[in-house]
């Protein structure tokens, strides 16, 4: 097909985008993408091309999902019109239109408006110039750290002795020992693995070995969210019992905060940077799958060149909400190879979590038809239950669990006494007993509708009007309150005034007036993204159909559960192809 015939058959800009389609994702992505598609040709003084406009929209939606690159092959991504696909224009017609467009950097002379905003990636995809350049810079810095040995180097026999000690104390396997050795010899280590593969046990032994090798080591533990930082601190304490008392005390005393707090967030940036670097020798970041490109760049900017960086996470988890899934980008085969021995992947499962673990592993490995067979074969005694019903209905069994959790929270909140630490701790512990997770905020199975169902009219009012025992989500970083985005508290009423009880590992549980928590949200139900970094005894997962099946959503949701999980889907589950497709 010639260029002329391609242009003649191209659909009108976005003509195939229906109201139903736009409702399937956050409206902001579509709005921004369509605005860019209209504005960029005008700013660069070029003729509008409907196929290039579809690519711009698709790239904007990809960035909204945390993906910096849009593949120009395979199944048409969101944003490519159904009419274009039906006319056989995807992908060859879109590629040809892109190559003709001055909006693509193809070695042409720069426009007066500046360099072309679109670029090809090394893999042949499409990316925004700004994000591609920043990603390349971050990966180059990580590569430099990975290939730079630790100085001064430890004698080989000393390293071997420390590795042998860590292996004996922690009952480590060969990959875990390799991770310990890597931290004793390299400036960058990336420790990956699924749930139950011993990441935390390994990190504790790595820290112990590093502190034994260099007793004056300045170490900081961090995570992208408050909940993830709290979980990291608790996990380090739980695993410290395998260490000698002095080492256990040192590990448990290590400071642990959110990255925003560590970097001293100022709203428009960070106080810590290359001119005011962190006074650290080793920075450990957990839940690195949640780390977006801008935050990773800020960390590298503030971390001294000679300091070590240990990144810990599960690459199968959801990418960050903001653009740039750094961990996923690193997982590319070529980039993995360029990091040498810095990457250590743990694969041996050490926790038997029954059907939850088995199904999560299947999702992690991309099982589609096999996933449905495994779910259909579940038995009542299994710790995972699959129920199907048509939204907005919900099955009664998981609803009963949620109502029982609500009642237990209410009873503990009524019995709360500020003078009794045990009462406060019991109430805060109950917050981790049960949660309802969903991928969406709006719609009949969205967080907003679920809270209206669970809380009634009070859901629409502020935290001061919510029933006793209602979990409360802090939705932004509030340094002045010592709270981070993702922290969860609970509504109490110790006297006549409604207050919010939050955990504080440094000062103990504390009370806060609702007026001091702007943007507070109920937290009986959370989006799956918001649940990252947390764990619950029991999880109810609602998974409605969407335009695009994302296995990471189900994987992340299931791995939040410690003991039991309920998966609720429509009769036609989201991983099944639509009829006639």
In the CATH hierarchy, which fold is given to the domain comprising 136-346? Rossmann fold (3.40.50)
354-569 and 136-346 share a CATH fold: yes
Q: Break the chain into its structural domains and give their ranges.
A: 27-123, 136-346, 354-569
Q: How far apart are the C-alpha atoms of 394 and 212, rounded to whole Å? A: 54
pLDDT for 400-414, tens place per residue? 999 999 999 999 999
Q: Residue 126: pLDDT above 70?
A: yes
Burial class for 7, CB neighbours closer than 10 Å (0-12, 13-18, 19+): middle
Q: Residue 253: pLDDT above 50?
A: yes
CATH number of the domain at 354-569, out of 3.40.50.300, 3.40.50.970, 3.10.105.10, 3.40.50.12780? 3.40.50.300
Contacts for 57 with CB less than 8 Å, ≥ 6 apart: 14, 30, 33, 34, 36, 37, 79
Mean pLDDT, the chain, as a whole number?
A: 89
Overall average pLDDT of the 46-52 stretch: 95
Lowest mean pLDDT: which of 171-175, 323-327, 416-420? 323-327
- 498 and 474 Cβ atoms separated by less than 8 Å: no
Q: Confidence class of residue 506 from pLDDT cuts 50, 70 and 90?
A: low
Between residues 48 and 64, the one the model is more confident about: 48
Overall average pLDDT of the 236-242 stretch: 87
Among 305, 272, 295, CA closest to 144 = 305
Question: How is the beta sheet containing 488-492 ordered, strand by strand?
Answer: 510-512, 499-502, 488-492, 471-473, 521-522
Q: Confidence class of residue 6 from pLDDT cuts 50, 70 and 90?
A: very low
For 145, the token pair is 């750290």
Share of the chain above pLDDT 70, in %: 93
| Other beta carbons within 10 Å of 114 | 10
Q: Confidence class of residue 331 from pLDDT cuts 50, 70 and 90?
A: confident
At 548 the pLDDT is 79
pLDDT for 432-459, tens place per residue? 999 999 999 999 999 999 999 999 999 9
The DSSP element (H or E) to which 437 belongs, if any, is strand 434-438
Q: Residue 18: pLDDT above 50?
A: no
**What phi and psi, each to the nearest 5 degrees, are found at residue 323?**
-65, 145
In order of 152, 153, 326, the CA distances from 148 in angstroms are 12, 11, 20
At 507 the pLDDT is 64
Q: How far apart are the C-alpha atoms of 277 and 254, rounded to whole Å? A: 19
Q: How many helices (H) and strands (E) does the chain have?
A: 23, 18
Angle of helix 174-183 versus helix 156-170 axis, rounded to 10: 140
Overall average pLDDT of the 475-496 stretch: 86
Bridge partners for 334 per DSSP: none
pLDDT for 341-393, tens place per residue? 899 999 888 876 799 999 998 998 776 678 989 999 999 999 999 999 999 99
For 569, the token pair is 């889907």
Q: How far apart are the C-alpha atoms of 519 and 496, rounded to whole Å? A: 23
Sort strands 282-285 and 308-313 into parallel, antiparallel or unpaired: parallel
Overall average pLDDT of the 548-568 stretch: 93
At 251 the pLDDT is 94
- 542 and 436 Cβ atoms separated by less than 8 Å: yes
């Amino acid at each position: 097909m010639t260029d002329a015939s391609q242009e003649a058959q191209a659909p009108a800009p976005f003509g195939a985008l229906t109201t139903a389609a736009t409702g399937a994702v956050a409206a902001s992505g579509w709005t921004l993408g369509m605005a860019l598609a209209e504005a960029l040709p005008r700013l660069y003084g070029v003729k509008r091309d409907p196929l290039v406009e579809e690519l711009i929209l698709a790239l904007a939606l990809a960035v909204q999902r945390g993906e910096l690159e849009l593949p120009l092959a395979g199944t048409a991504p969101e944003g490519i019109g159904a009419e274009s696909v039906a006319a056989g224009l995807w992908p060859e017609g879109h590629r040809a239109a892109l190559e003709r467009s001055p909006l693509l950097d193809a070695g042409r002379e720069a426009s007066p408006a500046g360099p072309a905003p679109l670029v090809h990636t090394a893999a042949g995809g499409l990316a925004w110039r700004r994000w591609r350049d920043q990603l390349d810079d971050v990966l180059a810095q990580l590569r430099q750290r990975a290939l730079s040995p630790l100085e001064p180097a430890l004698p080989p026999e000393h390293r071997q002795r420390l590795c042998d000690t860590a292996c004996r104390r922690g009952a480590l396997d060969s990959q875990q020992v390799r991770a310990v050795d890597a931290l004793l010899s390299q400036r960058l280590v990336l420790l990956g693995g699924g749930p139950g593969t011993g990441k935390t046990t390994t990190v504790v032994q790595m820290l112990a070995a590093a502190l034994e090798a260099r007793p004056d080591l300045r170490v900081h533990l961090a995570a992208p969210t408050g909940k993830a930082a709290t979980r990291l601190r608790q996990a380090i304490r739980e695993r410290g019992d395998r260490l000698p008392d002095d080492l256990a005390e040192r590990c448990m005393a290590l400071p642990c905060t959110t990255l925003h707090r560590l970097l001293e967030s100022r709203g428009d940036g960070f106080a810590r940077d290359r001119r005011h670097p962190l006074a650290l020798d080793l920075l450990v970041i957990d839940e690195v799958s949640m780390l977006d490109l801008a935050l990773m760049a800020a960390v590298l900017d503030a971390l001294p060149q000679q300091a070590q960086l240990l990144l810990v996470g599960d690459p199968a988890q959801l990418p960050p909400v903001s653009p740039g899934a750094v961990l996923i980008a690193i997982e590319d085969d070529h980039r993995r190879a360029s990091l040498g021995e810095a990457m250590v992947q743990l694969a041996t499962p050490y926790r038997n979590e029954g059907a939850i673990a088995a199904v999560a592993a299947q999702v992690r490995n991309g099982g589609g038809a096999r996933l449905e067979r495994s779910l259909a074969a579940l038995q009542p005694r299994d710790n995972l239950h699959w129920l199907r019903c048509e939204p907005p209905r919900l099955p009664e069994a998981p609803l009963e669990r949620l109502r029982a959790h609500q009642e237990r929270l209410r009873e503990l909140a009524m019995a709360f006494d500020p003078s009794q630490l045990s009462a406060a701790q019991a109430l805060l512990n109950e917050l981790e007993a049960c949660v309802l997770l969903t991928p969406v905020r709006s719609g009949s199975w969205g967080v907003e509708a679920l809270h209206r169902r669970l809380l009634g009219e009070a859901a629409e009012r502020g935290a001061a009007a919510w029933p006793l025992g209602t979990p409360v989500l802090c939705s932004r970083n509030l340094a002045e309150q010592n709270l981070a985005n993702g922290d969860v508290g609970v509504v109490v009423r110790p006297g006549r005034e409604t207050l919010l009880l939050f955990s504080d590992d440094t000062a103990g549980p504390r009370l806060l007036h609702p007026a001091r928590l702007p943007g507070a949200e109920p937290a009986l139900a959370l989006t799956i993204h918001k649940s990252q970094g947390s764990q619950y005894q029991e999880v109810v997962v609602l998974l409605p159909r969407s335009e695009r099946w994302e296995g990471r959503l189900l994987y992340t949701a299931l791995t939040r559960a410690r003991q039991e999980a309920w998966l609720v889907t429509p009769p036609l589950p989201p991983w099944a192809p639509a009829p006639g497709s």
